[in-house]
Structure formats: C-alpha cells, structure tokens
Structure 1
Amino acid sequence: MADNKITYVLDTNILLHEPFAFLSFKEHNVVIPMTVLEELDSIKDRKKDVSRDARVAIRALEDTLANATPEEIVEGVSLAHVGGEGEPTGTLAIFNDYALEKDNTQVSTMKGSRLSFNDNDNRIITAALHLQSKSDGRKVVLVTKDINMRLKAKGAGLNFVEDYRTDQLIDDIQFLTKGYQAFEGDFWQHVKDCDSETSGRVTTHYVEKSLLKSTYMNEYVIDETEHFAGKVTGWDDEKVAIQDVSRERLMGKSAWGISPKNVYQGMAMDALLDPNIDMVVLTGPAGCGKTLLALATALEQVVERGLYDKIIVTRSTPEIAESIGFLPGTEEEKMAPWLAAITDSLEVLHKQDENMNGSLNYIMEKANIQFKSVNFMRGRSIQNAFVILDECQNLTASQLKTIITRCGEGTKLICSGNLAQIDSNYLTAVTSGLTYIVERFKDFPGSSTVNLNGVVRSRLASFAEENM
C-alpha cells in the first residue's frame, strides 16, 4: 500500500500564529527547519507581544522532543503520545538546513540557480526543496503565512505551498455571517403557518423551520417593506421562535443622545443595550458607526443606568507593539495616538455642550474610561466593565481568545472591525480573528453579531467606500 503521508515544512510565522500548530497535521509528518528555531530564539527576548508566542512554541517543541535522541529527532519523533486536538499520529522532526550551504549536492531552483543563504526565508525554502528532491514522489508542502514567501517558493520550483488554514472557518468572505436575514417584500407573505404568544410586552412568533433553514441564536430577521423586525430566540426540528422586536422600537432606540440612522444601527443598538448579551461583534465598512454606537451605549449603561463600573477601551495595531514603549507618559497617554477614534467619537457626542473640553474631562472621570493596550490585557481578570475592543480585524483567533477569556462576571465585550482594512502581513479577511469569532460564536446564546451595512459618516465617505 502506498505511503500517503505528507511532509509539512513549517515557517516561523506559523508557530507565532499558533504555537501548537505542529499538532494540527494529524497522521502526517511535520518538519521544523533549524532556521525556524533560530528565528524563534531571536524573537523570544524581544519586548513585544509576539515574544510570548515564541516562548510558548519553544517550550511546546522542547516538551515534545525532551526524551528523544538526536537520531530520533532527525528521523522524526512520533506525536501519538502527545495528544491534543485531532490526536495527531504523525511525526515531528528538526531539519538542519544550515548543512545544505556547504553540501555539494545543495538543491538548485527550477532554473538551476541557487537561492542565497543570506536570507532566512531562502534557507527554509531550500530545506523544503531538498526534502522534495529526496521524497520519492511523496508530497512535501511548505506552510507559511507570508504571501511573498509562498510566491518565492513556487518560483524556486517547490510543487506545494500552502497557507495555514486550521483556524479558517469559511472559504470566502461573502459567506460570513451578517447577523441578520433580509426577506424580499413583506416577511409575512413568506409565512404559511404561525403561532404567536405574548408574555408581558414580549411577543414571540413560532414559524416553520423551513422558512429559516440555516439560523442561529440572536440572528435578526427583517424585510424590505420595513414593517417587520424580529430576533431568533430558539428552534427545534419543526419550529423557529422569533421574538418580535418591532421596526419602530429598533429605530426608536436611544443612547447618550444618539439614535440609529438605519435599521442596521437599530439592530446593533438593540444588541448593545441588551444586558443578557455578553458579547457583541460589529462588522462593517469605515464610517458605518461601529465605534460611535459602542461608545454611546457604553456611556448610557455606565453613567445613566449604572450597569457597569467602568469602560475599558483597547485596540490593536501593528505599531503598538513596536512603538508604545518609546512614547512618554502613562499607558493611557501612550495609547492616545492610536485611540484618537475614541476621542473623536467622544467629541461628536458632546459637540453641542457649552464647554466641550470640560464635558469630556467630566465624562472621562465619571464613566471611569480607561485606555489599555492589548499587550497588557493578558493575565488580567476584568470584572463589571464595558470593554470596547476596536480594530480587532488585525488580531488572530489566538489573540482574541486571550482577550475574551479575560472577561469575568458582569463584563460586556464589544468587538468591532472592518475586514477591508487589515494591516497584518499574515492575515486575510477569511483568516482574521474577527471572522473566526463571528463564525465560532454565532450559536452562543450570549453573543450577537451585526454587520452595519451602509456608510453614514458623510456623502464623501460613502462615495469613497463604494467606488475606490
């Protein structure tokens, strides 16, 4: 019987993206080039958030290979005893790619030339090419999140190059959950059979499951006639329960003087103001109102209703880890350049005040607004807070998990982002942590997702979003 095992050569960024990634390849063989270990070693002592992932990856590799002999490490150590997700049964090996530099049989590229050994990426590609030449027809795959490295590897003659997709839940961003289903015409024209019951001010309609074949908790239901708006609260094999939230009530929502400008903002405010929802995910283009709505509802629930003790605002940008330590002042003062979107929104909410600066200072103190870096969220336990995580399209699923698991009792988390504005070199719209949590949490009854369809910032912003 033919050996169908595949050899996967992992780039450094894969282990930084997910330190235990080498356990994700099931019965296949994983190879870590020596250059990857060198890069992890150089990263682990940097004063950056990524250094923790490097240390975790190094410890995981050491634990896996601790009892193996040098010969076994070169040949491949069985992962069957390690366990983990999918219970891997393949092997893990370390490949000394530095030896290829002095080897007279050094692998050439497809055109016969050799890649320079002065570049780490080239050494890893050369290792994969060498393994491919010795593979006896078995498949050798280089796995990297670096797009340019994938292009270089293919140009050098490597047959198989892939992105790391174990955390990718959808293949195309157009299939991403929007948080609502929109029916053509009148919703009730699509309903053949319906039972309704009213308890207090809440009316629930029970319609046939075939009407909403694919649905999830807290998904909104709207129609083109602007007469109906509902929210899915449960289902069985025959019926779906839809709570009637009323289009008029959605558009009549108000928080800190802000009212929705369209039904999408109305659905977002309904979720943001619902004390039974622990996490709200807001997606949509720039200018659709994600940050303004989150901040307005935060102030409303902290200052006016007293549901939370404080507002914590944080965001992630690639520059934070690089530059925050060189800026003067406290953590809040260092974060100010990257949280200008929040202060801009605060100014919008208080632009009619006689003394806007005085109002802002008062509200900052009254609402106990704290600006925090994502880098310093790890290890904390956040209680009774309204947490706004802005620009989280630049975070990986692992990073978002770290933040979400910090939220304790009485805390509400708002994750917002625009998947068209990803700054990370290694993330795309389908591999972003924002996409991951939208899909992973859609069946969780304590969360809600709303895609804010439509730019309301200005006529100029709307035209730019549609035509540029």
Structure 2
Amino acid sequence: MKKLFVLDTNVILHDSGAIHNFQEHDIVIPITVLEELDKFKKGTEEINYNARTFVRELDKLAGQGLFDNGVSLGKKKGKLYIEPGKPFSDAMNMSFPENIPDHRILAVAEFFVHKYPKRKVALVTKDINLRMKAKSIGIPAEDYETDKVQDMDYVAKEGATEFLDIDTSIIQRFYDESEISADEVKLPTQPEGHEYYLLKNGSMGVLVHYNPILKLFERIEKEEVYGITPRNTEQTFAMHALLNTDVNLVTVTGKAGTGKTLLALAAALEQADKYDYIYLARPIVALSSKDLGYLPGTANEKIGPYMLPLFDNLAVIKNQFALHSKEVQKIEQMLDEEKLVITPLAYIRGRSLSNAYFIVDEAQNLTPHEVKTIVTRAGEGTKMVFTGDIDQIDSPFLDKRSNGLSYTADRMRGQEIFTHVNLVKGERSKLAEVASDLL
C-alpha cells in the first residue's frame, strides 16, 4: 500500500525538490507550510532560494486537483495534495493548546493518521523537537533521509588506514624507488581514488598515496609548507592532498585544533603563483536566527567578528617568519591587491571561480545543495577545499549525516579528482586536546 507523508516547512527549505524524492508514495503539504514559505520568499540565503523554487514548482502543478484528489508528480510517482487546516483534536488541545504553525501541521498529520488507520502515515520533519511532539500523541514521525550519509566510516575515519603485515622488502623498495605499481604491493583491499595508507611491519613503516591515474603507490613524507610542518600522519596526508595538482576537490574533517584551516591556507600560499586568487571563505550562521542586518555598524563591522578565526590562521603563518621577510611581504601584497581574499561565503556569489584556490571553512554548516552550488561554479584551473568539524554543527536542521561536508565526502568517494582526509589528533595545545576530548 502507498504510504502518505506530511511534509514540514523545514524539509522544503532544506531541499526545494523534496516532493520528487518519495517514489510512489503520496505527499501532503499543509496549508500552514505555504503560509510559512511566504515569509522566506525574499532574501539571498539558500532557504530563500529554496522557498522561491518550491513555490514556482507548485505553480506549474497548480489546479483545483491540488486541494481535491491531488495531482500526479509523474510516472511511477505518487500524488501531491495541499491540505487546508484541520481542527485540533482533544489530544492536541490537551498537549499543545497554543495555536502556532508547528501545532497546525501536527493537527493535519493527526487527521490523516486517523483517516487512514490501515495505511502508513508519517510526519516528515527535520525538527527533532517536533518529531518528539508528534510521537507523544501517537503520530509517526521521521527525518528527511534522502541526502543523508548512510555509512559514516569513510567520512569520520578514526585514524590512518594501516596495514601491519606488509612484506619488509616492499617497504624498503618505497624508500629506494619512491613509487611501486599497485599490482606489486597487493593490499588486502582495493584502493578507491586517492587513498592514503600507513604500511608497516614491526618497526618498519612507510606513508603512501595511491595514484588512481597512474595506478601507482607513491611514498610521501612530511613537508614544510610556508612555515607549517605537519605534526602527525593524518596532517601529512592532508598536506599532500592539498598540494596535489591532480586533485581538484578536497574535504578535510576533524575536531577543533587539528589544523584543518591552517594546513589548507599554508598549502594555498605555497601555490599562490599557480592561481590568480586565493579565497578563504566561511558561512555566517547568525545568532538567535537574527540576520546580520540586525547588528549595528557597517557591512565590514558586521562580518568582522565572524571572520576573525580566518585572520587568526593567517597570523599563525605570518608569525613563522620575520616581520619584514619576503613571505610576510608577499602575504601583505596579496591582501592589498585582493589576490588573497578572506570573506563571508555569501560575498563570493557572482565572483569568478576560475583558476582560484578556494577554501571553504566551517563547511559542516552548509546543506548538500549549497555545497553543490559552490562546486558546480568551479572554472578551469580551480581547486576547492572544504574543511569543518562534523561534531560542531550550528544549523538546527543539519546533523553529522546530512550536512554538506559529510555528503560531499561520501558522494565523491572514489573519484579521480577527489580525496578526503579526517584529522584525529589535536595539535593546537595539550590543553585544547584534552578539553576537546573531555569537556
């Protein structure tokens, strides 16, 4: 039997094409959702774009059928209904007497649960609290799962992938020859794309990278880059990926203090001569759902506090050199000429992304669609790096499995132009490492 799903507003704001992702099952949009979407139509944020896109899609499907018998969403698809508001039941009135949009959506879901007792009816919402409210009065509720990562093992690796019983002659050959054919190394598992490994046997070990283009394993070593030297195995892997010209897209995850942004910025500066611009951007997640327009001051004064962490990383690199060194002077010149641009992600809209090194910090706060929008604007010669901590998500409707950073790492896995590294050990300080683990 076809299922029936009642969609909450946040599902549509998260994915404007959500109604096409429920296969043969039917979908109900409470009229309250349309009222809420009306408030989001104006603006330049992703949710405003999604609200407008969905309203246009509804307009194409417009007709009395939306409110009566529903309209088909296509071949082998279910129907879409717009449902006017329903009166609150006694259970609703007792538990949620306040007449707010969430409760009006709950009332519609409850109506269909009772109308079709033999049919599976569920409320779909990204709001955990609303799911709990629904379940408290017997309404099945679930998250929107379409763009969620199903297997997090690849995204959140616990450390370097190790093989401990490699023939010592193979390890020695890496030191003698630097690279060996994949057929000769014979690892227990087949490498996928640009993979990194620690090959060991007793006290002997070597760090290697699999090149899927040449079908070779290549030895890699720690390399000082613009004053920054990797301090552990994963940082060595990350730095290699950030410098690798065969890789156009890199995702780097890790908890606070693991060096994600610092490594990416150092690698970008090291390769500054290869690119026309270096962009270092991050999304702004305003506090208390307030737009930046609520804050006092000019545009630069509004965004300044949000950009400080990026300037802090730049200061760390500059402090590796003497005040009047050529490296520091080069950085200052690039800032003055806007060849090195530190900016909110929204300010990148409309700018050319050809032949640029583009770093997106705090990418865990982006939706999969936002990441897709950014990546698909990459021109020739552009390298894109997304960094973030999937355990520190500020958006109320994203989690470890549904954020754009995890989604990108999962979907791009195995591609010859992509690699992913998860940093494990904090290197900011002993205090920061202990606090990250225990507090």
2:195 is equivalent to residue 219 of structure 1: yes
> How many Å apart are 1:47 and its aligned residue?
5.5
Residues 49, 375 of structure 1: 8 Å contact kept:
no
- Match in the other structure for 1:73: 67
Identity across matched positions, percent = 34
Match runs of 1:324-403 below 5 Å: 324-325=292-293, 326=295, 328-329=297-298, 334-351=302-319, 352-354=321-323, 359=329, 361-365=332-336, 368-403=339-374
Task: Detail structure 1 runs of 4+ shifted over 6 Å in the superposition.
Answer: none
Which shifted more, 40-49 or 287-296?
40-49
> How many Å apart are 1:347 and its aligned residue?
1.2
2:234 is equivalent to residue 267 of structure 1: no
- Match in the other structure for 1:85: none
RMSD of aligned alpha carbons = 2.9
2:142 is equivalent to residue 145 of structure 1: no
Match runs of 1:50-449 below 5 Å: 50-63=47-60, 65-66=61-62, 68=63, 70-80=64-74, 88-97=76-85, 100-101=86-87, 106-109=88-91, 113=94, 115-116=96-97, 118-158=99-139, 160-171=140-151, 173-174=152-153, 176=155, 178=157, 182-188=161-167, 202-207=179-184, 211-213=188-190, 215-223=191-199, 225=203, 227-234=205-212, 241-246=215-220, 250-251=221-222, 253-302=223-272, 306-319=273-286, 322-325=290-293, 326=295, 328-329=297-298, 334-351=302-319, 352-354=321-323, 359=329, 361-365=332-336, 368-449=339-420
- Cα distance change on mapping 1:48 and 1:431 into 2, 3 Å: closer
Task: Provide the C-alpha distance between the structure 2 equivalents of 1:262 and 1:245, rounded to a whole number of angstroms.
Answer: 16
Which shifted more, 4-13 or 322-331?
322-331
Residue deviations 1:40-88 (CA, integer Å, cap 9, x gap): 011112454421111011111221x23x3x245332111125xxxxxx5
- Cα distance change on mapping 1:355 and 1:241 into 2, 3 Å: closer
Residue deviations 1:8-35 (CA, integer Å, cap 9, x gap): 0000000010001011111100000000
- Cα distance change on mapping 1:189 and 1:455 into 2, 3 Å: same
Gapped regions of structure 2 (runs ≥ 5) = none
Residues 19, 56 of structure 1: 8 Å contact kept:
yes
Task: Provide the C-alpha distance between the structure 2 equivalents of 1:183 and 1:361, rounded to a whole number of angstroms.
Answer: 41
> How many Å apart are 1:226 and its aligned residue?
6.0
Residues 48, 322 of structure 1: 8 Å contact kept:
no
Which shifted more, 44-53 or 317-326?
317-326
Greater RCO (CA < 8 Å, at least 6 residues apart): 2
Which shifted more, 130-139 or 219-228?
219-228
- Cα distance change on mapping 1:366 and 1:27 into 2, 3 Å: same
2:31 is equivalent to residue 37 of structure 1: no
2:9 is equivalent to residue 27 of structure 1: no
Gapped regions of structure 1 (runs ≥ 5) = 82-87
> How many Å apart are 1:209 and its aligned residue?
6.4
TM-score by length of 1: 0.84
- Cα distance change on mapping 1:47 and 1:405 into 2, 3 Å: closer
- Cα distance change on mapping 1:155 and 1:284 into 2, 3 Å: same
Task: Provide the C-alpha distance between the structure 1 equivalents of 2:186 and 2:91, rounded to a whole number of angstroms.
Answer: 57
SS of residue paired to 2:42? coil
Task: Provide the C-alpha distance between the structure 2 equivalents of 1:327 and 1:370, rounded to a whole number of angstroms.
Answer: 24
Residues 199, 208 of structure 2: 8 Å contact kept:
no
- Cα distance change on mapping 1:179 and 1:467 into 2, 3 Å: closer
Count of residue pairs the alignment pairs up? 430
Task: Provide the C-alpha distance between the structure 2 equivalents of 1:190 and 1:120, rounded to a whole number of angstroms.
Answer: 68
SS of residue paired to 2:244? coil
TM-score by length of 2: 0.89
> How many Å apart are 1:137 and its aligned residue?
1.4
The letter of the residue matching 1:244 is E
2:14 is equivalent to residue 17 of structure 1: yes
